Amino acid sequence: MKQLKPAVLAGIFSVAGVLSWAGARLWNAYGSLPGVPLAAPVVLGVIAVVLLATALSLRSRLKAQRERRPDAKGVEPLMAARALVFGQASALVAALVAGMYGGVGVFLLADGLEVPARRDQAWYAAFSVLAGIAVIAAALFLERVLKLPEDDDTAPPQAPSRA
């Protein structure tokens, strides 16, 4: 499985942010802008906590297994693979969602925060961006915990010589 690259996540965040900002401007010109739900940062925060808890649990189990403790509970490879896929998918979606709410937040800041409802929406968007970054950080940490050690054999096998 390939590792997530922070540059790819930053690119997704940026493109989603620009498109969301442009969409918010267009939507606002034709009517009222849809609101940022209060549940957005809450759900992203819960996902970040779940990813972090999974990473910490797996890290301690792997450490106990490496130290060959008699009471060590092993990590099943399929469960580790599922956790890794969940982390990577969460990071990709969080980059997209955080970029989207970031673009809306920038639009709201540029448009002015005189209206209390818009001010609240800007806060919700900011918290959503922060929670999305937390999801990405937790997913990258989980990926680091589950990374297999490199082989000590870095030299390619040599073909037998002809005599």
pLDDT digits (tens, 9 = 90+) for 9-31: 999 999 999 999 999 888 888 87
Q: Name residue, tokens 């989603």.
A: 16
- Distance, CA of 134 to CA of 40 (rounded, Å): 13
pTM score of the predicted model: 0.84
State residue 159's pLDDT score. 56
Q: What is the pLDDT of residues 40-85, one digit of tens each?
A: 999 999 999 999 999 999 998 888 877 777 777 777 889 888 999 9
Q: Which residue has the higher pLDDT, 12 or 1?
A: 12
pLDDT at 97: 96
Cα angle 93, 34, 12 (rounded to 5 degrees) comes to 25
Torsion angle, alpha carbons of 156, 158, 159, 163, to 10: 170
d(Cα 11, Cα 6) in Å, to the nearest integer?
A: 8
Q: How far apart are CA 139 and CA 132, in angstroms?
A: 11
Least Cα distance to 141 among 31, 64, 57, 79 occurs for 57
